[in-house]
């Protein structure tokens, strides 16, 4: 067991030999990434998942890109941009000589046609709502408006794109920098394979696929590997350090971890919970625990007695010992959550925090008519079938029993059944998670609006809805964050959900990989990443 | 013989129709659909998605449309992988599972039949006990234990193989051995049982009386009858082994059809579920027919009657 992680020279040599032989002609500057499930597709306007996102970040580049260390917006396709004083008009100035990987010029017009495709109703792009901040985009997307020229995109010349918004959306530039829904797509290729408005055509196959980012598609073997190679037509090709990136589709965490140990992977997508402590002890330099902009929480069915009583909700929230849970059960360096907004998101930290003792919890429960848990109905805690969620649920079940003398049943359901129960509010208490698409507190606060489709708690507060609207109209971040403080305070008071902890991303990564910084979204612009073998 | 095969073919066709119909409706009545996701999609987008895949039509219409496309051997588009068709996915994955299955089956047959025969011939000796223990252990220890164990020893400690993957010929060794052992165990037990029964029969005594060598008695006379239970086991087993093993394919990261089979159900990828079910059903039915014919050939007492 001493050589478990292959620290000796001979072990590493053996591992390198195997990894090299595996791919035949693996260039020395290749990064091997465990990438979770097989990507659905690599059309930025079709896909929705994390594995796809990682691949698209290597293959495409948007108007604006991210700084590798703090994800702040950096020039991408646009070398500079201006925002009008009222915050409604964005003007992007493109670089000269932008090309797709096949050499075709990339112009502002291409962007407009890309966005037109994204918003075409028949394409049914699931992330199209991230373009709805643009004037008339929602109307066009919903088929209420047929004339795309009325949507707020204009290209006065090949190198200028003007975007007009409905209301000042101070975080729009972060969405553009971080999210693939704003990437351009190669219309000239898409038109060759079935047209603009058709889903799932052959344009994303190797040989057909064209992109504008640091890498282009070399090979894609389904359920195995997707390989990106240097794009010689990328404007910033001098910065790119890797020759190839291999995204290996490895679903199983244990399999992935074994592949990491034999050198078949330079980094894993995840690390099994049971392995975290082993790595801490025996191979700390390969253990990566990065902050991850997301919150793990329990959704409460606010429409169902006794959970419609905020005293009951608060009692449940206060009876959880988050410090102990994070330290003894979850064990991946997570932060206990006493509010739903991740502290320090884009410089915003909520002042309101869930505070109170177990005694307060008991008192609240008694006030709600359940002294010492007497007469409290049997409620169920629903989670999707997974070992990790089960242990957390069991720990919290224990805490509720011990602190409040109430009995909560555990119910697990297969993923899609569980989502269906959430959607139909067929639950009492449901474990849930929310991961940000871009770095802004708005991500955590918008979902508790009464008409938000991800709310699913029955929580509807007119004051909250009003504040949410005001925030979108705010002139600057100071004003906006002031409104968010009120919203966070309201959430901590009402507790439509019970925040539990803020995520971290736990993975194994070889110390030979450089330029892969901890970032809140787990976004890592690949042009800055290198590997030494 | 011809009449037997025709009748069985027609029966199978009817059974297949029932399987398709039952699967078609069952998978749709399961809660959650192909577009159920953690981040909710707006009703407008959901409507467009459903329209794209024809899910907006009444269920009976979808059913008839599906049967219609089946007549053209078109299994439809995958819901999970929008740029692939089910035909493509099956064509892509079955050869991988079949290759792994073929090698494993070879291993299973060689080990299973020789151990089983040996155990029967040397009944109640240490050879029998060793072979029978192998059978029991092979059946009792699941592949998800044997697999990672072999990886630990041969990939991580010894560095002889990749931990998983399907890149070079050597990558076939570990998964094929694990899967082979899993099937060798029941085969050895069935062979032993079958052989013991046959070895007690009169014609064996006759063969011995006529002076045939023990080797000849076992291989020429007894084995043919002794393998009957194995042959009936092989029908469904071959179908199972060719359509891939979810566990082995997951542990070893093999791009086979077994993973698609299971994951398609989790993904509510309706067309892919149906496609893999049809594939499995056709294989089972075809192989059972083959088994019946082979059994008639092995055992003169069996008549093929329609």
pLDDT given at position A196: 87
- Nearest residue on chain B to A34, alpha-carbon basis: B253
A96 vs B: CB within 8 A: no
Q: Looking at the complex, report in whole angstroms how far the Cα of residue B188 sits from the nearest Cα belonging to chain A.
A: 30
pLDDT given at position B208: 84
> Which residue did the predictor score with more confidence, A476 or A138?
A138
CA distance A164 to B101: 59
Which residues, in sequence order, are bridge partners of residue B85? B77
Give residue A25's pLDDT band: very low, low, confident or very high (50, 70, 90): low
Give residue A464's pLDDT band: very low, low, confident or very high (50, 70, 90): very high
Q: In whole angstroms, how far apart are CA A488 and each of A521, B229, B252? A: 21, 70, 47
> B84-101: per-residue pLDDT in tens?
999 999 999 999 999 999
Q: Looking at the complex, report in whole angstroms how far the Cα of residue A442 sits from the nearest Cα belonging to chain B.
A: 15
A15 vs B: CB within 8 A: yes
- Yes or no, beta carbons of B167 and A121 under 8 Å apart: no
> B193-222: per-residue pLDDT in tens?
999 888 888 888 888 888 888 888 888 888
Cβ-contact A416, A381 below 8 angstroms: no
**For an interface test with B, which of A200, A268, A424, A437 has the most B Cβ atoms less than 10 Å from its Cβ?**
A200
| ipTM above threshold 0.95 | no
Nearest CB to A453 within list B30, B40, B268: B40
B:258-287 residues touching chain A, CB 8 A cutoff = 259-260, 266-268
> A89-120: per-residue pLDDT in tens?
999 999 998 999 999 999 999 999 999 999 99
A224 vs B: CB within 8 A: yes
- Yes or no, beta carbons of A14 and B159 under 8 Å apart: yes
**pLDDT of A457 strictly over 90:** yes
pLDDT given at position A247: 97
B154 vs A: CB within 8 A: no
- Yes or no, beta carbons of B84 and A258 under 8 Å apart: no
Mean pLDDT of B44-48: 87
- Nearest residue on chain B to A40, alpha-carbon basis: B81
**pLDDT of A443 strictly over 90:** yes
Give residue A18's pLDDT band: very low, low, confident or very high (50, 70, 90): very low
* Set of chain B residues whose Cβ sits within 8 Å of the Cβ of A283: none
Give residue A6's pLDDT band: very low, low, confident or very high (50, 70, 90): very low
CA distance B160 to B157: 9
CA distance A181 to A131: 8
pLDDT given at position A195: 85
- Yes or no, beta carbons of B163 and A142 under 8 Å apart: no
- Yes or no, beta carbons of A224 and B250 under 8 Å apart: no
Which residues, in sequence order, are bridge partners of residue A80? A93
Q: Cβ atoms within 10 A of the Cβ of A248, count? A: 23
- Yes or no, beta carbons of A222 and B89 under 8 Å apart: yes
* Set of chain A residues whose Cβ sits within 8 Å of the Cβ of B167: 22-24, 224
The two structure tokens encoding residue A458: 């029955």
CA distance A192 to B252: 38
Q: Looking at the complex, report in whole angstroms how far the Cα of residue A272 sits from the nearest Cα belonging to chain B.
A: 14
Percentage of chain A modeled with pLDDT above 90: 86
- Yes or no, beta carbons of A262 and B37 under 8 Å apart: no
- Yes or no, beta carbons of B164 and A416 under 8 Å apart: no
**Domains located in chain A, CATH noted:** 1-60+213-268+509-533 (3.40.190.10), 62-189 (3.90.76.10), 294-506 (3.10.105.10)
Average pLDDT, chain A: 92
Mean pLDDT of A503-515: 95
* Set of chain A residues whose Cβ sits within 8 Å of the Cβ of B40: 423, 453-454, 456
Cβ-contact B184, B132 below 8 angstroms: no
* Set of chain A residues whose Cβ sits within 8 Å of the Cβ of B250: 251-252, 255
A454 vs B: CB within 8 A: yes
Q: Looking at the complex, report in whole angstroms how far the Cα of residue B281 sits from the nearest Cα belonging to chain A.
A: 24
Burial A176-189 (b: 16+ CB within 10 A, else e): bbbbbbbbbbbbeb
A29 vs B: CB within 8 A: no
Nearest CB to A419 within list B32, B164, B260: B32
Cβ-contact A173, A69 below 8 angstroms: no
- Yes or no, beta carbons of A416 and B30 under 8 Å apart: yes
A208 vs B: CB within 8 A: no
**pLDDT of A17 strictly over 70:** no
Highest mean pLDDT, choosing among A33-42, A470-479, B39-48: A33-42
- Yes or no, beta carbons of A199 and B52 under 8 Å apart: yes
A8 vs B: CB within 8 A: no
**For an interface test with A, which of B156, B259, B270 has the most A Cβ atoms less than 10 Å from its Cβ?**
B156
A17 vs B: CB within 8 A: yes
**pLDDT of A468 strictly over 90:** yes
Mean pLDDT of A65-74: 94
- Yes or no, beta carbons of B250 and A200 under 8 Å apart: no
A237 vs B: CB within 8 A: no
Mean pLDDT of B48-63: 91
> A360-374: per-residue pLDDT in tens?
999 999 999 999 999
CA distance A448 to B291: 61
**pLDDT of B124 strictly over 80:** yes
Mean pLDDT of B221-225: 84
Q: Cβ atoms within 10 A of the Cβ of A470, count? A: 15
- Yes or no, beta carbons of A264 and B51 under 8 Å apart: no
* Set of chain A residues whose Cβ sits within 8 Å of the Cβ of B39: 48, 126, 454
**pLDDT of B29 strictly over 60:** yes
* Set of chain B residues whose Cβ sits within 8 Å of the Cβ of A202: 83
B52 vs A: CB within 8 A: yes
> B262-301: per-residue pLDDT in tens?
999 999 999 999 999 999 999 888 888 888 888 787 777 7
- Yes or no, beta carbons of B163 and A258 under 8 Å apart: yes
- Hey, CA dihedral for A25, A28, A34, A35, is it positive or negative? negative
Which residues, in sequence order, are bridge partners of residue A434? A295
CA distance A193 to A195: 6
> Which residue did the predictor score with more confidence, A283 or A15?
A283
- Yes or no, beta carbons of A3 and B157 under 8 Å apart: yes
**pLDDT of A15 strictly over 80:** no
> A384-416: per-residue pLDDT in tens?
998 889 999 999 999 999 999 999 999 999 999
B93 vs A: CB within 8 A: yes
A412 vs B: CB within 8 A: no
pLDDT given at position A212: 97
Average pLDDT, chain B: 89
- Yes or no, beta carbons of B48 and A38 under 8 Å apart: no
- Nearest residue on chain A to B82, alpha-carbon basis: A200
* Set of chain B residues whose Cβ sits within 8 Å of the Cβ of A41: 81-83
Q: Looking at the complex, report in whole angstroms how far the Cα of residue B272 sits from the nearest Cα belonging to chain A.
A: 14
pLDDT given at position A420: 93
Which three-class secondary structure string do you get for chain B?
Answer: CHHHHHHHHHHHHHHHHHHHHHHHHHHHHCCCCCCCCCCCCCHHHHHHHHHHCCCCCCHHHHHHHHHHHHHCCCCCECCCCCCCEHHHHHHHHHHHHHHHHHHHHHHHHHHHHHHHHHHHHCCCCHHHHHHHHHHHHHHHCCHHHHHHHHHHHHHHHCCCCCCCCCCCHHHHHHHHHHHHHHHHHHHHHHHHHHHHHHHCCHHHHHHHHCCCCHHHHHHHHHHHHHCHHHHHHHHHHHHHHHCCCHHHHHHCCCCCHHHHHHHHHHHCCHHHHHHHHHHHHHHHHHHHHHHHHHHHHHCCCCCCCC
Mean pLDDT of A171-186: 95
- Yes or no, beta carbons of B39 and A258 under 8 Å apart: no
A221 vs B: CB within 8 A: yes
pLDDT given at position B304: 64
Nearest CB to B159 within list A18, A23, A41: A18
């Amino acid at each position: 067991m001493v050589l478990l992680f292959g620290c000796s020279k001979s072990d590493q040599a053996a591992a390198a030999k195997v990894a090299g032989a595996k791919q035949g002609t693996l260039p020395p500057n290749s990064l091997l990434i465990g990438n979770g499930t097989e990507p659905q597709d690599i059309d930025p306007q079709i896909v929705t998942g994390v594995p796809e996102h990682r691949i698209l970040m290597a293959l495409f580049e948007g108007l604006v890109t991210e700084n590798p260390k703090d994800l702040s917006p950096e020039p991408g396709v646009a070398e500079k941009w201006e925002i009008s004083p009222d915050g409604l008009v964005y003007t992007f100035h493109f670089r000269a000589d932008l090309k797709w990987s096949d050499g075709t010029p990339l112009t502002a017009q291409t962007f407009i046609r890309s966005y037109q495709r994204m918003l075409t109703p028949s394409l049914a792009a699931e992330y199209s709502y991230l373009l709805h901040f643009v004037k008339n985009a929602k109307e066009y997307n919903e088929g209420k408006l047929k004339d795309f020229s009325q949507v707020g995109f204009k290209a006065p010349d090949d190198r200028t794109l003007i975007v007009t918004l409905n209301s000042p959306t101070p975080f729009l530039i972060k969405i553009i920098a971080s999210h693939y829904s704003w990437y351009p797509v190669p219309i000239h290729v898409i038109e060759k394979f079935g047209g603009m408005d058709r889903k799932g055509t052959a344009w994303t196959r190797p040989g057909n696929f064209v992109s504008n980012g640091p890498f282009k598609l070399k090979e894609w073997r389904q359920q195995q590997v997707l390989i990106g190679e240097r794009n010689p037509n990328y404007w910033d090709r001098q910065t790119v350090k890797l020759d190839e990136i291999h995204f290996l589709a490895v679903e199983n965490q244990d399999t992935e971890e074994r592949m990491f140990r034999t050198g078949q992977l330079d980094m894993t997508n995840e690390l099994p919970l049971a392995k975290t402590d082993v790595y801490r002890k025996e191979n700390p330099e390969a253990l990566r625990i990065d902050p991850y902009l997301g919150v793990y929480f329990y959704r409460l069915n606010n429409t169902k007695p006794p959970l419609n009583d905020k005293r009951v909700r608060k009692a449940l929230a206060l009876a959880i010992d988050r410090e102990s849970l994070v330290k003894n059960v979850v064990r991946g360096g997570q932060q206990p959550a006493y509010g739903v907004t991740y502290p320090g998101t884009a410089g915003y930290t909520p002042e309101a925090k869930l505070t109170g003792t177990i005694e307060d919890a008991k008192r609240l429960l008694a006030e709600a008519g359940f002294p010492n848990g007497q007469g409290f109905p049997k409620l169920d805690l629903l989670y999707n079938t997974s070992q990790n969620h089960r242990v957390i649920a069991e720990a919290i079940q224990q805490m509720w029993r011990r602190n409040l003398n109430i009995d909560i049943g555990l119910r697990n359901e297969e993923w899609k059944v569980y989502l269906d129960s959430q959607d139909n509010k067929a639950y009492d208490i449901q474990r849930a998670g929310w991961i940000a698409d871009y770095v802004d507190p708005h991500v955590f606060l918008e979902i508790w609006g009464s008409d938000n489709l991800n709310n699913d708690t029955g929580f509807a507060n007119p004051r909250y809805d009003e504040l949410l609207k005001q925030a979108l109209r705010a002139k600057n971040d100071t004003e906006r964050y002031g409104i968010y403080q009120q919203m966070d305070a309201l959430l901590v008071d009402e507790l439509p959900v019970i925040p539990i902890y803020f995520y971290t991303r736990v993975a194994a990564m070889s110390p030979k990989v450089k330029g892969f910084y901890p970032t809140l979204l787990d976004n890592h612009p690949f042009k800055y990443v290198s590997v030494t073998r | 013989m011809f009449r037997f095969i025709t009748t069985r073919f027609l029966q199978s066709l009817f059974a297949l129709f029932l399987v398709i119909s039952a699967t078609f409706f069952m998978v749709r009545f399961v809660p959650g659909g192909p577009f159920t996701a953690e981040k909710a999609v707006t009703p407008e987008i959901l409507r467009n998605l459903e329209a794209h895949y024809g899910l907006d039509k009444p269920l009976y219409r979808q059913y008839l449309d599906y049967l219609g496309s089946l007549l053209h051997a078109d299994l439809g588009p995958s819901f999970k992988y929008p740029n692939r068709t089910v035909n493509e996915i099956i064509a892509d994955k079955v050869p991988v599972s079949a290759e792994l299955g073929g090698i494993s089956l070879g291993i299973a047959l060689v080990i299973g039949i020789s151990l089983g025969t040996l155990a029967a011939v040397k009944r109640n000796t240490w050879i029998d006990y060793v072979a029978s223990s192998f059978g029991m252990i092979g059946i009792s220890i699941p592949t998800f234990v044997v697999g990672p164990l072999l990886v630990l020893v041969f990939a991580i400690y010894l560095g002889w193989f990749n931990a998983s993957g399907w890149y070079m010929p050597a990558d076939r060794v570990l998964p094929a051995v694990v899967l082979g052992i899993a099937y060798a165990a029941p085969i050895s037990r069935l062979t032993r049982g079958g052989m013991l029964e046959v070895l007690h029969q009169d014609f064996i005594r006759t063969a011995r009386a006529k002076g045939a060598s023990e080797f000849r008695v076992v291989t020429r006379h007894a084995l043919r009858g002794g393998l009957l239970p194995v042959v009936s086991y092989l029908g469904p087993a071959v179908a199972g082994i060719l359509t891939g093993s979810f566990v082995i394919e997951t542990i070893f990261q093999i791009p086979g059809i077994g993973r698609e089979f299971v994951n398609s159900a989790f993904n509510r990828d309706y067309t892919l579920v149906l496609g893999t079910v049809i594939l499995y059903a056709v294989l089972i039915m075809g192989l059972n027919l083959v088994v019946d014919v082979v059994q008639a050939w092995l055992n003169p007492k069996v008549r093929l009657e329609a």
